[in-house]
Amino acid sequence: MLSSASTNREKLQKFYNENIDSLSELYPGITFERLIQEFESSWSKGPVERREILKDCYLEGASHPLNTFFSYLKKGIPLEYISGQSYFYKSEFRVTPDVLIPRSETEILVEIAVNYLKSKSKEQDTFSIADIGTGSGNILLSILQEVDCPCFAVGLDISPLALAVAKKNHFNLKYRMSPKHHVEWIISDRMGSLYTEDHRLFDLIVSNPPYIKEKYDRKLVHHKVDQLEPHSALYLKDEEYDQWFALFFQQVENKLRPGGMFIMEGHEHHLESLRDLAQSYGLDSENTEIINDYTGRPRFFTWKRKNG
Ligand SMILES: C[S@@+](CC[C@H](N)C(=O)[O-])C[C@H]1O[C@@H](n2cnc3c(N)ncnc32)[C@H](O)[C@@H]1O
């Protein structure tokens, strides 16, 4: 066992030394120790689970786990898709090529949401929360871990494959959240399904929707992201962009309870015009705000609905 681990280490070291230039380009900041860690966490899972995580990226017939690992690395497959896990906010999330890999800047959205719920918990002892475009469930499950009082929560996504990943994460992280929370995962185009299934209003609506214009913004997207992450999570058609958000804002306006809060991540180039659009759908300007990320780019749009 020991000798096999040390042989793997030697082979990985040799691969790393021989491919350092291309690896640094595909995986900026990659170190040998990180590669070792990723290999160990990928191959501690059984072959069936690995196949389930990587789906069609899985290379049938590759003889040795290390050779398979090297093939993935040469293709530039994100380390998170290879190991099937990604760290976000305070937890490890399962990810597959069916979901966007959670980005660290989205943690700002979680922080805004958690601060809001903590301030509201002085006057309220239950909350209802909706997350639109939930993907791996990273936003909703991170928020729920921080709230002790009972929450009714829905994670909505148009992709049933993404929802399967979110459900798995919910199962894995259940022990870290209040047993009083009730969570549902619903297939839905934006909040559309809630109109037929549920007349509930929400205290908090969060969303990191697809917000890249398919043609106009594409040149700014890293080619590996464009090639390997789900397009339905990234892009909207340029000509449908405003219409897509117009319906979304109408639904938010309809479903947010007085005193509630809406928080959305968006594209730095489009967020201000989306705020104008939102205002024309009743999200009143006095209570909207645009918040920057840590690099100073405008990335989050919030709306607090007046009480009563
Ligand atoms: C940018 S990803 C965000 C994923 C995750 N919430 C995160 O922050 O990492 C956008 C998500 O929205 C989903 N989506 C795309 N179009 C949608 C629609 N019309 N209605 C609901 N969800 C949609 C995608 O499947 C994807 O999971």
**CATH code for position 158:** 3.40.50.150
User: Which residue's CA lies nearest to atom 8 of ligand 1?
Assistant: 208
Ligand 1 in contact with 260 (CB < 6 A)?
A: no
Does residue 249 lie in a domain region? Answer: yes
d(CA 298, CA 267): 8
- Rounded to the nearest angstrom, the distance between the alpha carbon of 208 and the centre of ligand 1 is 7
Is position 97 within any domain?
A: no
The tens-digit pLDDT sequence of the chain (308 residues) is 445 667 888 989 999 999 999 999 999 899 999 998 888 887 766 655 666 656 555 455 555 778 888 888 998 989 999 888 899 999 999 999 999 999 999 999 999 999 999 999 999 999 999 999 999 999 999 999 999 999 999 999 999 999 999 999 999 999 999 999 999 999 999 999 998 656 789 999 999 999 999 999 998 998 889 988 999 999 999 999 999 999 999 999 999 999 999 999 999 999 999 999 999 988 887 899 999 999 999 999 999 998 87
- Centre of ligand 1 to C-alpha 209, Å, is 5
**Phi/psi at 237 (5° precision):** -65, 135
Is 164 in the same domain as 271?
yes
133 lines ligand 1 (CB under 6 A): yes
Coil, strand or helix at 126: coil
CB-based contact 155:166 (threshold 8 Å): yes
134 lines ligand 1 (CB under 6 A): yes
Residue 144 belongs to domain spanning: 106-304
Same domain as 150, residue 14: no
**Total domains, the chain:** 2
* Domain boundary, last residue among 51, 83, 115: 83
CB 209 near ligand 1, within 6 Å: yes
- Pick the residue whose CA is nearest to atom 9 on ligand 1: 102
Note the pLDDT of residue 248.
97
Q: Based on the domain organization, do 112 and 242 belong to the same domain? A: yes
Are residues 71 and 124 part of one domain? no
Q: 166 with 289, same domain?
A: yes
My answer on whether 56 and 133 are in the same domain is no
Query: Are 252 and 144 contained in the same domain?
Result: yes
Q: Decide which of 49, 83, 117 is a domain's last residue.
A: 83
DSSP 45: S
Q: Domain end: 52, 83, 114, which one?
A: 83
Q: Are residues 146 and 26 in the same domain?
A: no
